[in-house]
């Protein structure tokens, strides 16, 4: 059953984190913070919603980097119950999909709880001061990728945030698999 996160709580401050990256070294929010904004995404390896848009996530991360927006992905699922999301499979998934952004493991799920993440994917777009400005979807994709010419909602919102410091007033929440809590 698909889960839907709540609509954006404008201005809500990003909780800090220090989580291990794929090399085991800790990565913090300040390490990934961009001069013009930061995108924190909760994803996993096995969710069909994530898998249908992984190539688009990688594309948007590269485009956002050019705008001075930092990008990070966090995997918070209970990987012992869902072995496809294990740290070893995170490395494989990131490598196969050519991730150019850190992919972090939230082993105790405390960061997903701090962000009130609901599903994978769940996108949190912050302004330069780390105030929330976007809690919407990547695009109109669901379990299947939308048409290639689909409007790039996440990219457009983050570009607006980089340029104005404010996200769009109208946002469509993401849809995905519920986070697998312990």
Beta bridge mates, 123: 41
Q: Regarding beta strands 103-105 and 69-75, do their DSSP bridges make them parallel or antiparallel, or are they unpaired?
A: parallel
pLDDT confidence bin for 114, thresholds 50/70/90: very high
CATH of domain 2-178: 3.40.30.10
Strand pairing category for 176-178 and 119-120:
antiparallel
Question: Residue 102 carries which DSSP code?
Answer: -
pLDDT digits (tens, 9 = 90+) for 54-82: 999 999 999 999 999 999 999 999 999 99
State the pTM of this model. Answer: 0.96
- Which neighbouring-strand residues pair with 74? 42, 104
CA–CA separation, 28 and 2 (whole Å): 30
Comparing CA positions, the residue from 151, 123, 156 lying closest to residue 4 is 123
Q: Does residue 172 register a pLDDT over 70?
A: yes
Q: Where are the domains of the chain?
A: 2-178
DSSP string, 105-157: E-TTSHHHHHHT--EESEEEEE-TTSBEEE---SSS-SSSPPPTT---HHHHH
């Amino acid at each position: 059953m698909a889960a839907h996160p709540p609509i954006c709580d404008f201005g809500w401050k990003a909780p800090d984190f220090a989580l291990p990256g794929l090399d085991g070294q800790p990565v913090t929010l300040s390490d990934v913070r961009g001069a013009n904004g930061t995108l924190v995404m909760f994803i996993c390896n096995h969710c069909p919603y994530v898998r249908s848009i992984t190539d688009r996530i990688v594309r948007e991360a590269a485009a956002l980097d050019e705008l001075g927006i930092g990008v990070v992905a966090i995997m918070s699922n209970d990987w012992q119950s869902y072995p496809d999301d294990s740290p070893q499979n995170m490395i494989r998934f990131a490598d196969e999909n050519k991730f150019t952004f850190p992919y972090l493991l939230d082993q105790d799920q405390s960061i997903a709880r701090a962000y009130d993440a609901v599903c994978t994917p769940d996108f949190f777009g912050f302004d330069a001061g780390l105030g929330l400005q976007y809690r919407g979807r990547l695009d109109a994709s669901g379990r299947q990728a939308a048409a290639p010419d689909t409007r790039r909602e996440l990219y457009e919102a983050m570009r607006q945030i980089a340029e104005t410091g404010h996200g769009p007033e109208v946002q469509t929440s993401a849809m995905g698999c519920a986070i697998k809590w312990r």
